[in-house]
Chain A
Amino acid sequence: KAGVTQTPRYLIKTRGQQVTLSCSPISGHRSVSWYQQTPGQGLQFLFEYFSETQRNKGNFPGRFSGRQFSNSRSEMNVSTLELGDSALYLCASSLWGDQPQHFGDGTRLSIL
């Protein structure tokens, strides 16, 4: 069974731009969660999607948004990028949301 796939693996953007990251969950998994990992703040929860609905949301500004498609694939979008958005963005999938989460390899976003 294929694991969680995140694309792209690396991305370089400049301040003020926007970016879209993609996550394909394990086949059959309906819950997709997004996390931001930085050296200063550690791993922080962004949001969780289940059956195309945002079910939980972390404490991030509205510039961070996401969506989930009918095939459970998910995208997250960050608008008006700031230097502090430089981070490793991780996606995790699970069957329903309260089972073991399986992570993708992440997208490393650098803001210049």
Chain B
Amino acid sequence: GIQVEQSPPDLILQEGANSTLRCNFSDSVNNLQWFHQNPWGQLINLFYIPSGTKQNGRLSATTVATERYSLLYISSSQTTDSGVYFCAVAKNNNDMRFGAGTRLTVKP
């Protein structure tokens, strides 16, 4: 099956800092999504981005499908951005494969 690797595994930032999270995947995909799991366990869909670039407020994402990676950018981080960020991919819309996640801690 498709392998999904996320980096870094852990990230600690001061409030206001910017960060880039990376997701590498081992095969071509037609479905790629980024999720944020907050400290209460709720998974929130951030982006559906099998290719191209999207922006939503302080967050943006870019997927370069031909090179099999995606990046999630967080600007001017806030304490509420803390949690785990997951990348998930699927090939031919089969089972979604999740990465191990990046645990982000934003300190005030």
Q: List chain A positions with a Cβ less than 8 A from chain B.
A: 33, 35, 42-45, 48, 56-58, 88, 90, 92, 97-103, 105-106, 108
Contact = CB atoms under 8 A, between A and B. Distances in A.
A48 B43 contact: no
Interface stretch (B16-24, B57-65, B67-75, B89-97): B89-97
Given A58-B95, A100-B33, A103-B43, 5 more contacts: A45-B96, A56-B95, A98-B31, A98-B93, A105-B42
B100 A88 contact: no
Contacts of B45: 100-103
A14 B20 CA distance: 43
Contacts of B25: none
Nearest to A105: B42
Top 9 A-B pairs ranked by shortest CB distance?
A43-B98, A45-B95, A103-B43, A100-B48, A98-B93, A100-B45, A56-B95, A58-B95, A56-B94
Contacts of A57: 95
Contact of B41 (A45, A99, A106): A106
Interface in B69-107: 86, 88, 90, 93-101
A48 B95 contact: yes
B101 A42 contact: yes
30 contacts: A35-B96, A35-B98, A42-B98, A42-B99, A42-B101, A43-B86, A43-B98, A44-B98, A45-B96, A45-B98, A56-B95, A57-B95, A58-B95, A88-B41, A90-B43, A92-B43, A97-B93, A98-B30, A98-B31, A98-B90, A98-B93, A99-B48, A100-B45, A101-B33, A102-B45, A103-B43, A103-B44, A103-B45, A105-B41, A105-B42
